[in-house]
Copies of this chain bind each other. A is one copy, B any other.
């Protein structure tokens, strides 16, 4: 995989393409085109063709893309042709919502454990999970070989939690705390903060 040469922003669009293709498959569709994907996503057909061409030849001129084939290929490229175990750290509103969310499992991820540091919450049941004591975070993540975590703790606690995850060998963090995390360069972080998205839009209002 020539991952070195492919811009991060292109990689970031692949999950969007995959999601659109999987939705088309659910609708019973078999074939699509860069034009149609583009219309659904508000991205130009030329951009989609250019992005996909960086990873291989997925369609024939004039006949379009086979939806199932292209989905499979994108899943392989994104490494979600397998299921990744995920730990959720922080069983507040967002953490609880994620632990109960059933939209992860068919897209490559499965929540395996949920942690919180609040003694009132530790030991409680959250859907199928018993909330674990965040005091044992490093050991438990390491023992379960968890590589991906979702951090949904308050901003003031997030960096400490991230440091522990790194110590435990985690290599990807999805951070819901409204703070930028500092991690070593080999660890990936993505941030989800609704306010930054809202502020991005108000600029244009």
**Using a CB–CB distance below 8 Å, which chain A residues touch chain B?**
3, 11-12, 14-16, 18-20, 23, 39-42, 77-80, 84, 86, 92-94, 96-98, 100-101, 103-104, 107-109, 147-148, 150, 155, 171-172, 174, 178-180, 182, 188-190, 192-205
Contact = CB atoms under 8 A, between A and B. Distances in A.
A101 B205 CA distance: 23
Nearest to A96: B93
Given A79-B202, A97-B93, A100-B93, A16 B178 contact: no
Contacts of A42: 180, 182, 189
Given A23-B179, A101-B93, A147-B205, A200 B195 contact: no
Contacts of A94: 94, 97
Stoichiometry, copies per complex: 2
Given A20-B180, A40-B180, A193-B19, A80 B174 contact: no
Nearest to A204: B188
Contact of A180 (B19, B78, B192): B19
A93 to B, nearest CB: 3
Contact of A198 (B40, B86, B205): B86
Nearest to A192: B192
Contacts of A196: 12, 15-16, 19
B3 A204 contact: yes
Given A190-B197, A192-B194, A203 B97 contact: no
